[in-house]
Structure 1
Amino acid sequence: MRLFLISIVAAGLACSQALAQGIPGPASALSRAEARAANRQPAIPRAGQEQAAVEKLAAFEARVGQKPNILIFIVDDMGYGDPGAFGGGEMIGAATPEMDALAAEGLKLTSTYAQYTCTPTRASVYTGRLPARTGLIRPILAGDQISVNPWEGELTVAGLLSDAGYHTMLVGKWHIGETEGMRPHDVGFDEFYGFYKAQKEYTQAYDERRFPDLVLDQDKFDRYQSIGSNNDLIYGLADGTTETIETITSPAQMAEGDTRLKDYTVQRIRALAEGGQPFYISHSFMKVHADNFPSEAFKGASASKFPYRDNMVEVDSHIGEIVDALEEVGALDNTFIFVTSDNGPQMDSWPDSGYTPFRGAKGTTWEGGVRVPGIAYWRGMIAPGRVSDGLFDLMDLFDTSLALAGVDANGLPTDRYWDGVDQSSFLLVDDGESRREHVYNWLGATLAAMRMREYKAHLHVALAQEKFLWIDMATVVPTGLAPWLFNLYVDPKEEYPVGHRMNAWTASLGAEMKAHAATFRLFPPKDLGL
């Protein structure tokens, strides 16, 4: 196990012994969370709220005659401040009326957290487990030699819901493995229509303006192509069927990728509505990950006229069309919708990048890297106009989806640790409060920070050596004698630690991080060799 993890786990040995004995209760006086089991993330008990949600779901099922549909929109690299509802929109030259309407008519979550980059977030959404546990701490790239298939033995929300009678489908970006045994339709999704990689990985070999040393050098180009990375739009089924729909050989093709994805989701919603089977769809946009090439239909569609902003307008429009399709087939009232991003904006590609009001960006565990928009919408089930700063980790979509579908999470295997929290009562009850007390921010295999209530403590920080270059020109350093501790209500941009000068909870936050680290001693993580 890696050196830092060894040291912090050793520091939490007493906590691991308590966990092993099944001792409930918080790790510190600050915590309201209670342990449900040694292998599950402690959560804040809200008995009345949870019972109210159970009753509300039961009434829905009795009225409709089936479980709810679940539709999750994941925009790639959208910044916290990109949608108008979160401070962007028209103010930054890219109006987002569709997302803004969902936020106004549903629940706007102002403290939603992703992982520091795309692959870890997507893995956590589908497995309900931290990437440090599954080993999916970064993209598995063509040419990588991994020692273990990370998906072997893992359960996905798609597979569990498929077993419960749902049709499960991923449309769009996967980015969690492209070899057999690691594809969406290999790990629980009944159906896949999309791309294995990020947008840039399809276009860089054909964009001579940005990558002339690759595109115009035949030797380098041939060597790059010999890596064998898949460059196709793929259709796959759980029975093993895998077909190439189109091979991407130009930026112009990729520019139209999200339109094709939107058309497919709309088509499948119309077909599935006729069958009466509930569905779980993860619609995962390729945009607005760099490099951005606007669709012909959206060139200049934003007030900004920059490609990223045009693509934000496109993504927003596609969300609206898909929601309209649900309305047209009479399924909107039966569908839980969640809109989010897989991490903060990739500022290294500025100005082909998004906006966040916070410090840092994609690739860091500063708020700018991990705090993302979160919108929960379900007409008639989630009261309109709600806004909450309660903590919501995107991993919680795993447990929450199971709860909405009536799948008992208590039946999950006990030989591994589950990090998600069922937040169905938080979302569905009119005055619901979050059941999550902690958000853990990992940089790969290193526990870097933790948020608890309004406090955030950093053990490791990324320091950019040049403006915007949070990936390409940054160092990661330990914080020294004490964690850098911020009160995010006073200092949301994490500009000046309060620590020992102005905070009484430093020791308590340390104890909570030790308790978290101790779970890795009881349930050792996978090491894929990444």
Structure 2
Amino acid sequence: MRSVLYAFFIVFCLVITPGMQTAQAASQPNILFLFTDDQAPWALGKSGHPHAKTPHIDQIFQNGAYLVNSFTTTPVCSPSRASLITSRYGSELGITDWLHPRTEPELGLKPDTVTWVKLLNDAGYRTGLIGKWHLGLLDKQHPTQFGYDYFMGFRSGGNVPKDPTLEVNGKDQKLKGLLPDILVDDAIRFISQESAKPFMLSLHFRAPHTRWLPVADEDWAPFKDLDPQIPNPDYPDLNTKRVKQMTREYLASVASVDRNVGRLLETLKQLNLDKNTIVIFSSDHGYNMGHNGIWHKGNGHWVLNHNPPATKNIPKGQRPNMYDNSIRVPTAVLWPGVTKSGQIVKGTVSNVDWFPTLLEMAQVDLPENLTIRGTSFVPLLKQADVTDWDNDFYAEYSTKHQSHTHMRMYRTPEWKLIRDFLNPERDELYHLTTDPQESKNLIHSHDPHVKEIRDQLHQKILSNMKSVNDPVLKQAEQGS
């Protein structure tokens, strides 16, 4: 009798399970979080670049919501990624600059850190991370300790664009092929697995981080002979030849990501998952390519024929910064049934906002008594009448490798103040409305209105530093 009942139970499960999967899929969406490395907000066809080849990424931006004022709290890899996954500032987590594998091999996320990935996993999501981690090398800092069921990629920040060494099934292996292609091959395998659970896949490309080449021939072909337009060719003493060469290589790397994004979008369609999968595209920070005379991100480098001399804390050739091109990130959300084609979201959001936003998308409650710094921007995606949205933005960056700084920034839609509490001679104030390129520093202006704005923003910085218990606060208050 028991064997008959057992056989009936097996048949019952086989018959019922597909329907149960469908019901669950209808209630909780899949989430595909595409995350690039060093992706400039300007390096997309959708954002108007004359040479960018990004038709597939542009589809996400065009068919979903384009968040034109999306920023990162820190314009460099590790602290930005830490803020993304925890909704906390790097100064709270002890991660204020990129994690150096040789000088600080034990630094990373603390094991008791709560992440939105863990909360989604606890709520029934099958979770995976493919690609770059850069939040700790030790086993106690492994992605699977923070809510990911599956990991394939590399724990450190560095890798190569061809024949990379990756962690596969817990062991490092040298694989043949181009890194973006290898990562997406694995992402397609993950998405294609049969499961009763909805999936959340974080796909962290390393492109378009340097080294940019090699890429596939088809990705390099449009750029190899290109004489690209550059943003400010008349910048004094700009090394135009180098900027143009780097632009070609950078855009080719972006194209390699785009081609692979196209493969993923096609996979979702073929598996009939596109109607119930939220597709997110974003990056850890922005990028400069000759803008303001520099290239790179928040730990920028001058790209001049003759670099300014070194100072006490800033080596020759370095230009730490919090320009908009460094802190702004290209972001789009394609949420079937919610976002609209061609939707533009102008409200200011940042990477600390993903934690509550993703939980709300997945219909998972935010735990009580959990400290997070972000706000869900689901109302903006749903085009709700949000009249009191806060468009101010606070950010921080204490550099400690190529340079030593304690930069703290407060930005409104009209003004931006950057204080370097370690090097006060580097303070900057920009009127973004009249000077969006941030080319005229007004920090020493004698205009009474400008001085009033500067003092107001300074107090905003101090207030934010107090709220997160910033270890630099005492030094900042002494210098006020």
Q: Given the two structures, how large is their TM-score scaled by the length of structure 2?
A: 0.74
Taking the aligned partners of 2:59 and 2:464, their CA distance within structure 1 comes to 38
Structure with more relative contact order (C-alpha pairs < 8 Å, separation 6 or more): 1
Distance 1:524 1:352 in 2: 27
Looking at structure 1, the residues matched to 24 and 124 of structure 2 have their Cα atoms a distance apart, in angstroms, of 19
* Correspondence for 2:314: none
Post-superposition offset of 1:124: 0.9
* 1:120-269 paired onto structure 2 within 5 Å: 120-145=79-104, 150-199=109-158, 201-202=159-160, 232-236=165-169, 242-244=170-172, 246-247=173-174, 253=176, 256-269=178-191
Match of 1:338 in 2: 280
Determine the structure 2 residue equivalent to 1:369: 326
Letter paired with 2:423: V
Do 1:292 and 1:308's aligned partners in 2 also have CA atoms closer than 8 Å? yes
The 2-side partners of 1:264 and 1:196 are apart by 16
Which letter maps to 1:265?
A: A
Equivalence for 1:327: 269
Answering whether residue 402 of structure 2 is matched by residue 456 of structure 1, we say: no
Q: In structure 2, the residue corresponding to 1:407 is in which secondary structure?
A: coil
| Unaligned residue ranges in structure 1 (runs of 5+) | 1-60, 207-230, 237-241, 462-475, 526-530
Q: Quick check: 1:458–1:479 contact (8 Å CA) kept in 2?
A: no
Residue 477 (structure 1) aligned with residue 423 (structure 2): yes
SS in 2 for 1:159: helix
Per-residue CA deviations over 1:39-96 (Å, capped at 9, x if unaligned) read xxxxxxxxxxxxxxxxxxxxxx9896321122211111111210111122xx13x311
Residue 135 of structure 1 and its aligned partner are, at CA, apart by: 1.1
Q: Tell me how far apart the structure 2 counterparts of residues 301 and 421 of structure 1 sit (CA, whole Å).
A: 43
Gap change, CA 1:192 and 1:363, over 3 Å in 2? farther
In the TM superposition, residue 288 of structure 1 has moved relative to its aligned partner by 0.9
What one-letter code is carried by the residue in structure 2 that aligns with 1:313? A
Q: Which residue in the other structure is 2:476 paired with? A: none
Pair 1:277-2:197 in alignment: yes
Indicate how the Cα distance of structure 1 residues 297 and 495 shifts in structure 2: closer, same or farther if over 3 A, else same. closer
Root mean square deviation of aligned Cα: 3.5
CA distance in 2 between counterparts of 1:192 and 1:157 reads 16
> In structure 1, how many angstroms separate the alpha carbons of the residues matched to 2:472 and 2:286?
29
Q: Does structure 2 retain, via aligned residues, the 8 Å contact 1:438–1:452?
A: yes
Are the structure 2 counterparts of residues 346 and 367 from structure 1 closer, same or farther at C-alpha, using a change threshold of 3 Å? closer
Preserved contact between residue 363 and residue 369 of structure 1 (Cα < 8 Å): no
Say which SS state the counterpart of residue 211 (structure 2) adopts. coil
SS in 2 for 1:382: coil
Distance 1:106 1:433 in 2: 22
- Residues 395-433 of structure 1 deviation map (CA, whole Å, 9 limit, x = unaligned): 2111111111222225253xxx42111111111226667
Task: Measure, in 2, the Cα distance between the counterparts of 1:438 and 1:485.
Answer: 15
Structure-1 separation of matches of 2:203 and 2:150: 12
Judge conservation of contact 1:112–1:391 (CA < 8 Å) in 2.
Answer: yes
In the alignment, which of 218, 226, 242 is matched to residue 298 of structure 1? 218
Q: What is the Cα deviation at residue 235 of structure 1?
A: 2.8
1:400-479 pair list within 5 angstroms: 400-413=357-370, 417-429=371-383, 435-444=389-398, 446-460=406-420, 477-479=423-425
Q: Which amino acid aligns with 1:174?
A: W
TM-score by length of 1: 0.68
Indicate the residue corresponding to 1:396 in structure 2: 353
Provide the residue aligned with 1:310 in structure 2: 252
Identity of aligned residues (%): 24
Aligned to 2:76: 117
Q: 1:303 to 1:69 in 2, by over 3 A?
A: same
1:145, distance to aligned residue in structure 2 (A): 4.1
Distance 2:270 2:294 in 1: 35
Once the 2 structures are TM-superposed, how far is the Cα of residue 262 of structure 1 from its aligned partner?
Answer: 0.5
1:86 to 2:47 alignment = yes
Amino acid at match of 2:322: T
Unaligned regions of 5+ residues in structure 2, if any? 1-21, 226-247, 303-317, 400-405, 474-480
Q: How far apart, in 1, do the equivalents of 2:197 and 2:103 lie?
A: 39
- Post-superposition shift, 1:491? 1.6
Partner secondary structure for residue 185 of structure 2: helix
Query: In structure 2, what is the Cα distance between the partners aligned to 1:411 and 1:362?
Result: 42
Q: SS in structure 2 opposite 1:233?
A: strand
> Cα offset for 1:386?
1.6
User: What one-letter code is carried by the residue in structure 2 that aligns with 1:458?
Assistant: I
CA apart distance, 1:283: 0.8
Deviation at 1:198, TM superposition (A): 3.3
Alpha-carbon shift at residue 295 of structure 1 (Å): 3.3
Query: What secondary structure sits across from 1:486 in the alignment?
Result: strand
